[in-house]
């Protein structure tokens, strides 16, 4: 019997090796700040709130990159699942399982990061939400790009930057790919597991082979998120400069 070792070899892995090209660019997070317009208590408390969410973003960023490096460690060790249907015997199931664990953690954390950015934007623009409304990247960006956004919020010439965020949310295929795979992990058939071979359409049941999304497919989506994440942080940094101008 073959025994799969969880996290085999991880103690010898360099957990910053694969993210070196993004570490410096994401360090801009530390330079994003919110300065008060006055000495009023509201400016003081909003500054505290902003630093709270910024601190959590920094923590989530660390988890994201640790998960990325660990996932890439097992990916580079070799999973060999590109020809899943032709020769599944070639698959290294130990590396497969460990990559799956860390890649899922990365992809779920990626959405936590986006929602966290929604909180920062909420504080930046002093957005008031109704009791039943929840903070999310999607809803906050939508509010800041609405027809009456300029009437409700002091945008301070950040309209073009906010439009770029909105384009990522609405039009960017990388964002759509991320959303699909995240929903599959949370609610549907997770990647790296063969989909249900049984389908039912209009009361007709068919049996097929199922669909398999490979580790290479997932790595591509992970890399795409890092690209988007860097772009969003750059935009947020530019927003902070404009909003903090006296």
If DSSP states are collapsed to H, E and C, what string results for 166-226? Answer: HHHHHHCHHHHHHHHHHHHHHHCCCCCCCCCCEEEECCEEEECCCCCCCHHHHHHHHHHHH
Beta-carbon neighbour count of residue 147 at 10 Å? 6
pLDDT at 1: 43
15 CB-near residues (< 8 Å, 6+ apart)? 66, 69, 70, 73
Which pLDDT does position 89 carry in this prediction?
Answer: 87
Task: State the residue for tokens 């957005």.
Answer: 127
Q: What does the alpha-carbon distance between residue 181 and residue 189 come to, in Å, rounded to a whole number?
A: 9
Q: Which residues contact 193 (CB under 8 A, 6 or more apart)?
A: none
Given this model, what pLDDT does residue 65 score?
97
Percent helix, strand and coil across the chain, each to the nearest 5:
65, 5, 35
In which residue ranges of the chain is pLDDT below 50?
Answer: 1
Separation between Cα atoms, residue 224 and residue 226, nearest integer Å: 5
Please give the pLDDT value at position 185: 95
Which has the closest alpha carbon to 116: 46, 185, 58, 179?
58
Closest CA to 181 of 243, 240, 124, 108: 108
As a whole number of angstroms, the distance between CA 225 and CA 67 comes to: 13
Radius of gyration, CA atoms only, the chain: 21
198 — phi, psi (to 5°)? -100, 125
pLDDT for position 164? 97
Would you put residue 212 in left (φ > 0), alpha (ψ -120 to 50) or beta? beta
């Amino acid at each position: 019997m073959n025994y799969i070792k969880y996290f085999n070899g991880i103690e010898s892995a360099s957990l910053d090796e694969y993210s070196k090209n993004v570490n410096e660019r994401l360090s801009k997070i530390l330079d994003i700040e919110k300065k008060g317009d006055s000495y009023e208590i509201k400016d003081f408390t909003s500054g505290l709130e902003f630093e709270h969410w910024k601190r959590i973003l920094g923590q989530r960023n660390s988890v994201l990159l640790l998960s990325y490096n660990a996932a890439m460690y097992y990916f580079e060790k070799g999973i060999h699942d590109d020809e899943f249907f032709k020769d599944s015997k070639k698959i290294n199931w130990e590396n497969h399982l460990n990559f799956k664990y860390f890649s899922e953690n990365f992809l779920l954390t990626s959405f936590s990061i986006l929602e966290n950015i929604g909180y920062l934007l909420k504080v930046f623009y002093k957005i008031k939400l109704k009791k039943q409304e929840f903070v999310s990247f999607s809803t906050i960006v939508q509010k800041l790009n609405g027809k009456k956004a300029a009437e409700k919020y002091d945008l301070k010439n950040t309209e073009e930057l906010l439009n770029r965020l909105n384009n990522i949310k609405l039009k960017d295929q990388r964002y759509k790919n991320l959303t699909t795979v995240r929903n599959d992990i949370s609610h549907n058939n997770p990647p790296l597991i063969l989909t249900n071979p049984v389908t039912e359409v209009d009361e007709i049941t068919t049996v097929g082979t199922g669909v398999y999304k490979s580790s290479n497919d997932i790595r591509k989506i992970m890399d795409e998120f890092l690209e988007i994440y860097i772009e969003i942080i750059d935009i947020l940094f530019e927003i902070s400069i404009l909003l903090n101008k006296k």
